[in-house]
Chains A and B, each alone.
Chain A
Amino acid sequence: MVNIMEAKGERFGPYGGRYVPETLISALDELGAAYEEATADSVFCEELDLLLRDYVGRPSPLYHASRLEASVDGAPIFLKREDLNHTGAHKINNTIGQALLARRMGKHRIIAETGAGQHGVATATACALFDLECVVYMGEVDVDRQALNVYRMELLGAEVRPVGSGTRTLKDATNEAIRDWVTNVETTHYIIGSVVGPSPFPRIVRDFQAVIGHEAREQMLERTGALPAAVVACVGGGSNAMGIFHAFREDDGVEFIGVEAAGEGLDSGRHSATLAAGRPGVLHGAMSYLLQDADGQVAPAHSISAGLDYPGVGPEHSYLKDIGRARYASITDKEALAAFHRLSELEGITPALESAHAIAHVLKIAPDYKERGSLLVCLSGRGDKDVDYVARIEEGEHYL
């Protein structure tokens, strides 16, 4: 009897799996096998390491944000500066890895979904570097609020396809990317941008992002002689959070705190706090927490930050929540905007609106941690892409 259990896919407790059309099963198998092979191959690993060093600019610095810390009279705050990577966010760690993998599999066409546009830009960048055809799906709402990134993707030679169905944000861009992949699976690799989607994507993306935590752990030990009391990161799909958490998974004394987008407030119904307010379900190929209504229809998410505006979350986060290894807080649009200003004014660093959620939460909890050690925050991206949008909001334009 042939083993048909290959379709089961890897799980994190009950979460994850491969809830996809049959057409994709062989491609997911192929991807899993190619990934195992590649990561066991020292030539592949060395090429990736060199690119991360010379092209992405790794290791990214660890910065002690002393003025921010003084302003709340709390624990020492350290920022892991993923905003200083080439293209301005952590997303490039994953796209370089996956583009190398695509090349190895002989796939010359790349597709991706994007919300804030950071993953789209990082994918377009990797495709320019490796001479791969690149198509990026982006919701119409996001095309509008992240216009700068649309131009950047086009400049890099990618084709941006606006998605006008459903909520016209990241969720629908992902649907459309999956539809493209089902259609062109034989020639195309889908570079998914977060720790979501069918197995093996959540693990592959986590592993490519794990460089964040590996560096940060060493840097913390070197700088402070101790591990941080807590590691804090924003969570939409959750790739920068898994990336920074993973290296600390055996360090029981290190707390993991994910920060979701509370939008206009958890009670308003307009938020993206999947782990706080969702329940387990299936979307985009995986079982995980999901914002949904009583009929099992996916509920529209909302966040001022396009990158967090997503009703699902990576399956490993669902598992970390259930077993109590991580806890998940949420920050409103207003609090995130305040943190966007505060970090700019106090440290001269303008964070991406996504990362501003993590900063806002750290400002809240820093006084409580004063006697307990330091706080390590993943500053996942820089805010240049958001400046125009925030200015429009502050001039009184209603935001999307």
Chain B
Amino acid sequence: MPSISERFAERRSEGRSTLVPYVTSGFPSRSATLDVLAGLAEAGGDVLELGIPFSDPLADGPTIQEATFRALEAGMTVEGTLELLGEFRRESDTPIVLFSYLNPLLRYGLEAFLADAEQAGAQGLLLTDVPTGTDPLVEDAILTSGLDFIRLIAPTTRPERASAIGKTGQGFLYYISRTGVTGAREALAEGLEEEVRALREVVELPVAVGFGISTPEQAALISGVADGVIVGSALIQALDEGGPEGAGAFLATLRSAMDRVANERELS
């Protein structure tokens, strides 16, 4: 099974960008999530982000909030997500990053969660509400676990801090493309390309960009400057409207737009 860094390195050696789709566990239903994950891996998802639903998703916009509430209503839990992951792992070796808020993991027991998540086949963990340096006990437990701790950098993060975060992160760095919550946007933030280029100068880990990326054109543009492209809300919308197949078809359009950029670059 490839690690997250190996997967990024593989894509980089092919001259391609890594595509990271996000879905909420249990949305639109438990059984659908397995089909969704398999379909996304097939449609060109290189690393999959699987969100553990939390009642108060304050970093998320309306689309992922809605998916979260529906998943919770359908009974999805931390334990249920790990079970799903285990089932997916029997069929696929595509790396998985679990995406969560801290509280459900604390309640589960952080050490137990880290062990069980690794056992179930997760490669990474991303926490929306544990910025670097916030809780050394929690952070050390994750950093020394079998999971890569994916750290986030925002446009408001000062350069010295960004560079320090780059040194403690694992797997890849998640660059938040704009101030705000998750959600599809019509336009990318101004100056984004320069910001990503500047960040890549000072960090060694691969940089993937997320928040607001919703069209093949945007994905192509980002893939020209970043190591990875993360897509969440737009994918959830496609999933809501077209089921697992619709989600796969949408992701494939991003994949081919990104690969076209890679081909053009190679030709030139």
* A residues whose Cβ falls under 8 Å from a Cβ of B: 1-2, 4-9, 17-27, 165-166, 171-172, 175, 178-179, 182-186, 280-285, 287, 290, 292, 294-298
Q: Lowest 5 CB-CB distances: which A-B pairs, in order?
A: A296-B107, A296-B104, A7-B133, A183-B180, A23-B154
In the bound complex, do residue A2 and residue B179 qualify as a contact, i.e. CB atoms below 8 Å apart?
A: no
Residue B14 lies at the interface, judged by CB distance under 8 Å to chain A: no
In the bound complex, do residue B107 and residue A25 qualify as a contact, i.e. CB atoms below 8 Å apart?
A: no
Q: Given known contacts A25-B156, A26-B157, is B55 in contact with A297 (CB within 8 Å)? A: yes
Residues of A within 8 A of B155 (CB): 23
Compute how far the CA of A7 lies from the CA of B134 in the bound complex, rounded to whole angstroms.
Answer: 5
Q: Given known contacts A2-B161, A4-B133, is B179 in contact with A282 (CB within 8 Å)? A: no
In the bound complex, do residue A4 and residue B104 qualify as a contact, i.e. CB atoms below 8 Å apart?
A: no
Residue B91 lies at the interface, judged by CB distance under 8 Å to chain A: no
Residues of B within 8 A of A294 (CB): 107
* B residues whose Cβ falls under 8 Å from a Cβ of A: 54-59, 61, 65, 69, 72, 77-79, 101-108, 128-136, 152-158, 160-161, 163-165, 168, 176, 179-181
In the bound complex, do residue B102 and residue A19 qualify as a contact, i.e. CB atoms below 8 Å apart?
A: yes
Q: Which of A19, A22, A296 has most B Cβ within 10 Å? A: A22
Interface of A is mostly: mixed
Compute how far the CA of A23 lies from the CA of B65 in the bound complex, rounded to whole angstroms.
Answer: 19
Q: Given known contacts A23-B179, A295-B78, A296-B104, is B54 in contact with A285 (CB within 8 Å)? A: no
Residues of A within 8 A of B164 (CB): 1-2, 4
Known: A5-B133, A21-B131, A295-B108. 13 other contacts (CB 8 A): A2-B161, A4-B132, A6-B133, A7-B132, A22-B132, A23-B176, A166-B69, A179-B180, A183-B179, A185-B156, A285-B129, A292-B103, A298-B56
Q: Which residue of B lies closest to A1 (CB)?
A: B164
In the bound complex, do residue A182 and residue B77 qualify as a contact, i.e. CB atoms below 8 Å apart?
A: no
List 29 A-B pairs, Cβ < 8 Å.
Answer: A1-B164, A4-B164, A5-B136, A17-B135, A20-B131, A22-B131, A22-B154, A22-B157, A23-B155, A23-B156, A25-B161, A26-B157, A26-B158, A27-B156, A165-B69, A166-B55, A179-B181, A186-B179, A282-B103, A283-B56, A284-B58, A290-B103, A292-B107, A295-B79, A295-B104, A296-B106, A297-B55, A298-B55, A298-B103
Q: Which residue of B lies closest to A287 (CB)?
A: B135
In the bound complex, do residue A179 and residue B58 qualify as a contact, i.e. CB atoms below 8 Å apart?
A: yes
Compute how far the CA of A27 lies from the CA of B154 in the bound complex, rounded to whole angstroms.
Answer: 12
Residues of A within 8 A of B56 (CB): 166, 171-172, 175, 283-284, 298
Q: Which of B54, B56, B61 has most A Cβ within 10 Å? A: B56
In the bound complex, do residue A19 and residue B134 qualify as a contact, i.e. CB atoms below 8 Å apart?
A: yes
In the bound complex, do residue A281 and residue B103 qualify as a contact, i.e. CB atoms below 8 Å apart?
A: yes
Residues of A within 8 A of B176 (CB): 21-23
Residues of B within 8 A of A172 (CB): 56
Residues of B within 8 A of A182 (CB): 58-59, 179-181
Compute how far the CA of A283 lies from the CA of B133 in the bound complex, rounded to whole angstroms.
Answer: 18
Residues of B within 8 A of A1 (CB): 164
Q: Which residue of A lies closest to B57 (CB)?
A: A175
Q: Which residue of A lies closest to B159 (CB)?
A: A2
Compute how far the CA of A281 lies from the CA of B106 in the bound complex, rounded to whole angstroms.
Answer: 7
In the bound complex, do residue B58 and residue A296 qualify as a contact, i.e. CB atoms below 8 Å apart?
A: no
Within the complex, which residue of B77, B133, B135 is in contact with A295, where a contact is CB–CB below 8 Å? B77
Residues of B within 8 A of A298 (CB): 55-56, 103
Q: Which residue of A lies closest to B72 (CB)?
A: A297
Residues of B within 8 A of A25 (CB): 131, 154, 156-157, 161
